[in-house]
Structure 1
Amino acid sequence: MATITTEVATTARWDDVQRALTGGGDGASCQCIWPVLSNKDWNATTKEQRTEMLRSEIDAGPPPGIIAYVDGEAAGWIRIGPRTAQARVARTRIIAAASAEPFDDDSVWAVTCFVVRREHRGTGINLELLRAAVDYARDSGARLIEGYPVDTGGSTIRTNDLFHGALSTFLAAGFTETAELKPGRTLVALDLAS
């Protein structure tokens, strides 16, 4: 049985962040910068620029994500942090219309991205990442965490369409459904104050 552990993404773990992001799917080209840029700014950047943006974000701190390890090898990534640092969330109309939380509140955090290396998919890494993200948010003073997962309904979904996470993973971690964003996408929340 493989051992899954997690660590926050610090400068010292940069190579592990890159390993986690480059195991198949869009992680290598996106560099998990999609949630922090508007469409216009996203379209104006190259992969190299996005890589440097993520590196700068990690260097500046606080860590914007968590790395999962399988037997000590980087295997997955989750982006977690204040919604105020993830500009795309407030600019996404379906989220803005569905969330009851003010978008200028730093105590509201968001989970916006999951990446798992191809060879480790289907092994429970996303749930371990999400649990670690909840602990990290709680320890960092977050009041509430939102997520915007895909409801697979038991269907097979293209991996690149699952970067928001699966609804079943969020429910297993104690989140509750608060609103339908659109068919197949749900807003979920976890109140850390209760």
Structure 2
Amino acid sequence: MDVRAADVFADVAAVLGPKKETSSNCFCLSYRIGSTENQALRGPERFERVRGLCAEDPPPGVLAYDGAEPVGWAAIHPRADTTFATNRRIPHVEGHEDPWSLWCVRVRPGHRKQGISHQLVAGAVEFARVNGATVVEAYPVDNRGEKVDLTMAYVGTRALFERAGFEYVMDTTSVLNGFTRVLMRYTT
């Protein structure tokens, strides 16, 4: 398994994109851009916005590859460039002015239960470190071993991030699928 920068739009679209370009699914934009722009973008405009993000330096995240096939995605970017910068439910923690946020981990159907999420988290942390991050934050649910609805599992679990060396900082007031999201940090 190889994890590398998500700078190839076609590969990002293969993991995150809808089957039809007219669809207006998330495409991992909901925390990356402001809600006004996110709600206004429809169909092909969403594709073009993500294509533009893939061309930026740094791109919007990392992809996991099984050979040449993209099989997983992790969204990671400086918190200041995301909606987490102003999110009241997931507070800014004093002491680290420029953390990076890791907020979405997705593995394609047919490739799950193979440890790819763990590799994506490790690859995302390394990507952030190489791009100057000293701290990476994640905001997973603390599900205490209970099942998380697959549509909400993109944030990851506390256990996933603990296994990757992240440390619990605090509970947040954000709740997803009935579970409290926690703020966790990794010092690179």
TM-score tier after normalising by the smaller chain length: 0.7 to 0.9
Separation in 2, partners of 1:141, 1:43 = 31
Which residue does 1:153 correspond to in 2?
Answer: 144
More helix by share: 1
Separation in 2, partners of 1:101, 1:48 = 41
Do residues 94 (structure 1) and 89 (structure 2) align?
A: yes
Do residues 41 (structure 1) and 32 (structure 2) align?
A: no
Shift of 1:73: 1.4
TM-score by length of 1: 0.84
Q: Secondary structure at the match of 2:90?
A: helix
Correspondence list, 1:44-193, <5 A: 44-86=40-82, 88-96=83-91, 99-101=93-95, 105=97, 107-182=98-173, 183-192=179-188
* Partner deviation per Cα, 1:129-163 (whole Å, 9 max, x = no partner): 11011111111111111110012211111111111
AA matched with 2:93: S
Percent identical across equivalent pairs? 30
Separation in 2, partners of 1:168, 1:69 = 23
Q: Secondary structure at the match of 1:95?
A: coil
Structure 1 residue ranges without an equivalent (≥5): none
Separation in 2, partners of 1:109, 1:175 = 13
CA contact (8 A) 2:170 2:183 kept: yes
Aligned residues: CA RMSD: 2.0
Shift of 1:71: 3.6
Shift of 1:40: 2.7
AA matched with 1:184: T
Separation in 2, partners of 1:118, 1:191 = 31
Shift of 1:101: 5.0
1:15 to 5, 10, 18: 10
Q: Secondary structure at the match of 1:53?
A: helix
Equivalent residues, number: 179
Shift of 1:22: 4.1
TM-score by length of 2: 0.86
Separation in 2, partners of 1:51, 1:150 = 28
CA contact (8 A) 2:3 2:63 kept: yes
AA matched with 1:45: L
